[in-house]
C-alpha cells in the first residue's frame, strides 16, 4: 500500500494538477518550434530589408551622370577603331607608320608601364562599377521575387488550395482573417 502511495504522489507531482513537470522540463532543453519559426522569419525579414536598403536604392540620375557615362563608354570602341585604323593605314602609308612606330620605340619602358597601369585601372574600375550595378539589380530582383512568392502563397492559402501553416506570420497575425478562414 505505502509504496503505491509514494509512486502515486510522484506521478501526481510530475503530471497532475495544472502543471506538467516533464513537459516544462523538456521545453527548457527543446526549442519551442513555433517561437523558433517566428524568430527565423523575423531574422529573414530583417536581412532582406537590410539587403534592399543597401542594394536597391535608386539614385537620381542627372544629365551630367548620363554625359559622363556616355564619355566613359567611348575609350573601348575608340581603341578598337584605332587598332583597325593601324592595320588599314600601315599598308597604305608604310613610311608614315614606320615613323610612328620608330617614335613609339623611343618611349621609355617606365612610361609604357604608367600608360598600361592607367588603362588597366580605368577599365578595371569601369568593370567594377558595372559589376556592382549588376549586383544591385540582382538584389532588387531577389527582394521583389521574395515578396511575390510570399503574397502568392498567402493568396493560395486564402483560396483554400493549401492549409495555412500555424507558423506563417502572414496568415496568423490577423484575427479577422483567421475567423473568416475558419467560417469557410
Q: Tell me the pLDDT tens digit for each residue of 120-137.
A: 887 777 677 777 777 777
Q: Grid coordinates in use for 75?
A: 575609350
Q: Grid coordinates in use for 174?
A: 490577423
Question: According to the model, what pLDDT value does residue 20 have?
Answer: 65
Confidence class for position 82, pLDDT limits 50, 70, 90: very high
Per-residue pLDDT, averaged over 45-62, amounts to 72
**Which stretch, 52-66, 104-118, 120-134, has highest mean pLDDT?**
104-118
Confidence class for position 176, pLDDT limits 50, 70, 90: confident
Interacting residues of 98 by C-beta distance below 8 A, sequence separation 6+: none
Amino acid at each position: 500500500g505505502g509504496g503505491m502511495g509514494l509512486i502515486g504522489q510522484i506521478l501526481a507531482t510530475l503530471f497532475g494538477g495544472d502543471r506538467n513537470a516533464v513537459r516544462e522540463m523538456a521545453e527548457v532543453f527543446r526549442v519551442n518550434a513555433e517561437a523558433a519559426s517566428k524568430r527565423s522569419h523575423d531574422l529573414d525579414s530583417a536581412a532582406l530589408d537590410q539587403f534592399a536598403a543597401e542594394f536597391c536604392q535608386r539614385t537620381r540620375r542627372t544629365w551630367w551622370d548620363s554625359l559622363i557615362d556616355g564619355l566613359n563608354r567611348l575609350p573601348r570602341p575608340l581603341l578598337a577603331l584605332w587598332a583597325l585604323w593601324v592595320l588599314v593605314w600601315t599598308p597604305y602609308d608604310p613610311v608614315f607608320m614606320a615613323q610612328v612606330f620608330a617614335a613609339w620605340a623611343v618611349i621609355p619602358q617606365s612610361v609604357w608601364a604608367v600608360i598600361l597601369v592607367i588603362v588597366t585601372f580605368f577599365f578595371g574600375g569601369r568593370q567594377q562599377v558595372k559589376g556592382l550595378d549588376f549586383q544591385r539589380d540582382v538584389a532588387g530582383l531577389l527582394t521583389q521575387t521574395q515578396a511575390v512568392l510570399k503574397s502568392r502563397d498567402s493568396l493560395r492559402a486564402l483560396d483554400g488550395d493549401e492549409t495555412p501553416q500555424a507558423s506563417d506570420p502572414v496568415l496568423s497575425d490577423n484575427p479577422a482573417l483567421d475567423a473568416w478562414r475558419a467560417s469557410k
